[in-house]
Amino acid sequence: MVPPPSNPQQIQQFLSSALSQRGPSSVPYEESNKWLIRQHLLNLISSYPSLEPKTASFMHNDGRSVNLLQADGTIPMPFHGVTYNIPVIIWLLESYPRHPPCVYVNPTADMIIKRPHAHVTPSGLVSLSYLQNWVFPSSNLVDLVSDLSAAFARDPPLYSRRRPQPPPPSPPTGYDSSLSRPPSAEQSLARPFPPSPYGGGGRVQVQHVHHQQQSDDAAEVFKRNAINKMVEMVHSDLVSMRRAREAEAEELLSLQAGLKRREEELNIGLREMVEEKETLEQQLQVISMNTDILDSWVRENQGKTKNLVDLDVDNAFECGDTLSKQMLECTALDLAIEDAIYSLDKSFQDGVVPFDQYLRNVRLLSREQFFHRATGSKVRAAQMEVQVAAIAGRLHS
């Protein structure tokens, strides 16, 4: 599925359709990232019209095949004052844009990948510092292609394939051989790349990127091998350092999550302690009020026991109000009935009281005890209301 590259509106419709498609042929990107992927591709096509967005099947190393978006075409490479076109394919993997895309150099039939190359493997896979240091969400495809163009300008990744030249025909007798020359090696290797849309007006004939054959000089071979070895060591060190930094970052993130969780626990504990403090302060106020009431009662009744000679237990306590008197009577009757029922139990166990008489008396006493207890509960509630009203009046005063 490929939109025509000449119509930006059709490209937008193609990307909207590809990213919103459902089913087996849908692209496996996160819904929250699809809008950003669309913007990255639109910005790329706007800056580099020679690239076209497509959907194609991508085969992973583990054998999985997925339908992904790609940017296929050529990117400009300025070299010795002339702009060349380098064919590339930019695959947007499933984790894009949180992770970098996968870039391949895609040589045509008359091109060969330069070996060795600092940024391109023999299979065409491109490795750049921009890809290795990809940062979401600031990294994007436009800057990536610009970095690719600059890197290829310093070291072109492709050169024209050498084609065998037929042997020159034998000159006829008497022909001066000095007038016939075979074409030079540079002329035989020069091949045109696809036309560039970035300048030069029309088709630009690509000058030959000179590829020297390996020298038989041992010093040159040793120097080249040493440089390649140093590049591999530096790349390995960079990969190790990046993995170490990523591990440190993961450790710091986990530590940050632990600190955040402990902060929430401390806040919860602090709120519970504040609530408990408020509850204890309220209870302390109630206890202080009750203490004041008891102290005042003790002071009022402290001199009443000095003139008592014969103390009547029934008249030892005087009720201060009607509710207290009623509460005292209900409590006394409740306890008296409790004692009577206990005595009936003992008499029945000793065989003094018959069973039917025991049941009848217990039923009557229990009914009367229930009414006394219900009355006591109502009186106690009324006393609490009076006490609360008195405490409130004392606080306002």
What tens digit of pLDDT does each residue of 237-252 get? Answer: 998 999 999 889 888 9
| pLDDT higher than 70, residue 199 | no
Mean pLDDT in the chain? Answer: 81
CA distance 74 to 109: 15
State the pLDDT at residue 367: 94
State the pLDDT at residue 259: 93
Reported as a pLDDT band with limits 50, 70 and 90, residue 313 is low
Helices (H), the chain: 8-20, 34-47, 129-132, 141-154, 185-189, 218-301, 322-350, 355-396
What tens digit of pLDDT does each residue of 275-292 get? Answer: 999 999 999 999 999 999
Per-residue pLDDT, averaged over 201-213, amounts to 38
| pLDDT higher than 70, residue 373 | yes
For 256, what's the count of Cα atoms within 13 Å in the CB-facing half-sphere?
6
In terms of pLDDT, which residue wins out, 47 or 160?
47
What tens digit of pLDDT does each residue of 10-24 get? Answer: 888 888 888 888 877
State the pLDDT at residue 311: 63
Per-residue pLDDT, averaged over 358-373, amounts to 93
In terms of pLDDT, which residue wins out, 331 or 181?
331
Per-residue pLDDT, averaged over 24-52, amounts to 89
| pLDDT higher than 60, residue 218 | yes
Per-residue pLDDT, averaged over 16-35, amounts to 85
In terms of pLDDT, which residue wins out, 280 or 166?
280
Could you tell me the CA-to-CA distances from 257 to 253, 260, 276 in Å, in that order? Answer: 6, 5, 29
State the pLDDT at residue 224: 80
What tens digit of pLDDT does each residue of 58-70 get? Answer: 988 888 888 899 9
Per-residue pLDDT, averaged over 25-51, amounts to 89
Helix (H) or strand (E) holding 103: strand 102-105
Per-residue pLDDT, averaged over 147-157, amounts to 90
Cβ atoms 27, 68 nearer than 8 A: yes
State the pLDDT at residue 310: 63
Q: What are phi and psi of 105, to 5 degrees?
A: -80, 130
Bridge partners of 87, per DSSP, are: 74
Say how many Å lie between the first and final Cα of the chain, rounded.
88
State the pLDDT at residue 342: 93
State the pLDDT at residue 195: 44
State the pLDDT at residue 112: 87
Q: Which amino acid is at 349?
A: Q
CA angle (144 as vertex; 138, 148 as ends), nearest 5: 155
| Structure tokens, 338 | 């409790």
CA 286 from centre of chain: 51
Selection from 191-200, 267-276, 320-329 with the highest mean pLDDT:
267-276
| pLDDT higher than 70, residue 222 | yes
State the pLDDT at residue 324: 86
For residue 108, give every residue at least 6 positions away whose Cβ sits within 8 Å of its Cβ, in sequence order, or none: 87, 194
